[in-house]
Amino acid sequence: MKTLAWMLTGAAILEAGMMMALPYLSPRQMFFGVRAGAEFRGSPSGRKVLAQYWGHVFGWLVVALALLLGVGGLPAQVAGWLAMLPIVGALIGFVQAYFRVRPHALASDEVREAELAASDSGMPWWSWLALPPFVGPVVAMLYMRAHWDEIPARIAAHFAINGEPDRWVERTERTVFAPPVVCRSDVAAVAAAGGGGAGRAHDGVCACGAGVGISPELGPERADGGNTGRVPDVGRNLQQPERSEAGRVRVHDQFWECVELRSAGRVHARGDRAGGVYGVGDAGVGGPRHERAGRSARATNARV
Amino acid sequence: VVAGGPKIRIDLSSPVAAYRQIVDAIRVLLVDEAIRPGSDLPSVRQLAIELGVHFNTVGEAYRQLAEEGWLDLRHGRGARVILRGAPAAASPERLDEFRVRMRNMVAEMRAGGISAAKIAGELRALMEVLR
């Protein structure tokens, strides 16, 4: 039991260290899951939030160690849960830090600027230290695969409060390999929270400079084909223009509330929602998300 | 980390698509030789995060610049500016396309209250910069 306590102590310290490093394991723009800008984490406010988070994790680590080492005779299962306290504390601290950083989030300005110089990903060189918790279970799984015959046919699947197994399962790939995967899913979730969200909230508005949402696809091709005018390479489902004159075309009978017509990866026409008059050629609007190359064209709702 | 590189700016409220704004901004820097062959551009992911746009938007912009012969896109190495050979003379259709776009822009400027002389001056100044 004493050996187990020391092992769990080491695990708790490792977990606490990893959780303390978590705020750095995200692009510099992100801090506790908030897009606060690269400079924020070095600012007094940023350092204060970080110090509070570290203090939080450290406090939970101290509690975990005190209980692990100070209280004798703890059941193995309880001791195991105690070793997880730093992670639990870090999760709570992360959420608290998120709400502290959120008021400092960069406003979603319409005008955005970026430096056009290659740099690293914003991850510190010691990011690799975060790998062992993920690599470890994989190594364990490989080891178990290599020593499959040495694994008992029945495996303890659950332990009672007194530490004695009270449920058993047969040795199958699922029962053997699922626990290592599940046991690190918590860390993966936290890592995703720290580094994820980089492109959050922008998907709806940024792929197309003017667009919000996607309107229904354009109608079927006219039987008579119409006068395609100067619109080249129109996809099969793009409604044909009724006529063209001096570089402008009118779309047959329906005035789509759209600013662009695309097909085969190109913008073929644009217009306003009032008149349904469309300029042709490379109109310079729209974004790649509205493409279905070679098969259809889509209209993008105008934001007016 | 390389700091102090040229910057690009996009306006998401503009009717011009974000990816096209990125293409245009980078192309200006390339033509102006503010970015020279051999330089590495930020990764798609990095630039998308900086600008707060979808990865595909930046990816599309890079692909277009690569098609124009400005960039070399290789998986795992990012985007590198390459020495671009002299472009072939624009076809009449392409020239016509440029003419339409320029005419639309000039018309928009005139509609916005800018005099013809001012527009001509702006174009001349622009040509001096991009020559």
Residues of chain A contacting B77 with CB distance shorter than 8 Å = none
What per-residue confidence (pLDDT) applies to B92?
87
What per-residue confidence (pLDDT) applies to B114?
92
- In tens digits, what is the pLDDT along chain A, a chain of 304 residues? 577 778 888 889 998 998 998 888 887 778 898 888 888 888 999 999 999 999 999 999 999 989 888 887 777 778 888 888 899 999 999 999 999 998 888 776 678 888 887 665 556 667 777 777 778 888 888 898 898 888 888 888 887 767 788 888 888 888 888 887 877 676 666 666 554 433 333 322 222 222 222 222 233 332 333 322 223 333 323 334 433 333 333 443 333 333 344 444 444 444 433 333 333 333 333 333 333 323 223 333 322 2
Question: What residue type is A94 in one-letter code?
Answer: F
What per-residue confidence (pLDDT) applies to A122?
56
> pLDDT of A225-236, one tens digit each?
332 222 333 332
Most confident of B44-48, B56-60, B77-81: B56-60
Is B5 strand, coil or helix?
Answer: coil
The 10 Å Cβ neighbour count of residue A248 is 17
Q: Do A113 and B7 touch (CB under 8 A)?
A: yes
A105: left (phi over 0), alpha (psi -120 to 50) or beta: beta
Is the Cβ of A141 closer than 8 Å to some Cβ of chain B?
no
Q: Which chain B residues in 88-127 lie under 8 Å from chain A, judged by CB atoms?
A: 97, 100-101, 104
Residues of chain A contacting B6 with CB distance shorter than 8 Å = 115-117
Give residue B121's pLDDT band: very low, low, confident or very high (50, 70, 90): very high
Q: Which chain B residues in 58-87 lie under 8 Å from chain A, judged by CB atoms?
A: 59-60, 78
Is the Cβ of A197 closer than 8 Å to some Cβ of chain B?
no
Q: Which chain B residues in 28-47 lie under 8 Å from chain A, judged by CB atoms?
A: 29, 35, 39-43, 45-47
- Predicted TM-score (pTM) of the model is 0.41
Is the Cβ of B27 closer than 8 Å to some Cβ of chain A?
no
Q: Which chain A residues in 202-261 lie under 8 Å from chain B, judged by CB atoms?
A: 202-203, 205-210, 247, 259
Q: Do A116 and B3 touch (CB under 8 A)?
A: no
> pLDDT of B19-36, one tens digit each?
999 999 999 888 888 888
User: How many beta-carbon pairs below 8 A join chains A and B?
Assistant: 155
Query: Would you say A193 and A94 are in contact if contact means Cβ atoms under 8 Å apart?
Result: yes
What per-residue confidence (pLDDT) applies to A232?
30
Query: Would you say A60 and A85 are in contact if contact means Cβ atoms under 8 Å apart?
Result: yes
Residues of chain A contacting B29 with CB distance shorter than 8 Å = 116
CA distances from B41 to A44, A97, B34, B35 (A): 32, 33, 12, 9
What's the gap in Å between the CA of A213 and the closest CA on chain B? 14
ipTM score here?
Answer: 0.71
**Could you say which DSSP state residue B115 is in?**
-
Give all strands (DSSP E) within B43-128, no chain letters.
71-74, 78-81
What per-residue confidence (pLDDT) applies to B63?
93
For range B98-127, the mean pLDDT: 91
Q: Do B19 and A207 touch (CB under 8 A)?
A: yes
What's the gap in Å between the CA of A99 and the closest CA on chain B? 21
Q: Phi and psi of B76, rounded to 5°?
A: 85, -10
Q: Do A208 and B18 touch (CB under 8 A)?
A: yes
What's the gap in Å between the CA of B114 and the closest CA on chain A? 22
Is A20 strand, coil or helix?
Answer: helix
Instruction: Give the β-pairing of A298-302 and B40-41.
Output: unpaired
Q: Which chain A residues in 63-92 lie under 8 Å from chain B, judged by CB atoms?
A: none
**Would you say residue B54 has pLDDT above 80?**
yes
Option in A35, A118, A282 nearest B78 (CB):
A118
Which is higher by pLDDT, B56 or A35? B56
What's the maximum distance between 2 C-alpha atoms anywhere in chain A?
90
Burial of residue A245, with CB atoms counted within 10 A of its CB: 0-12 exposed, 13-18 middle, 19 or more buried: exposed
Q: Do A210 and B26 touch (CB under 8 A)?
A: no
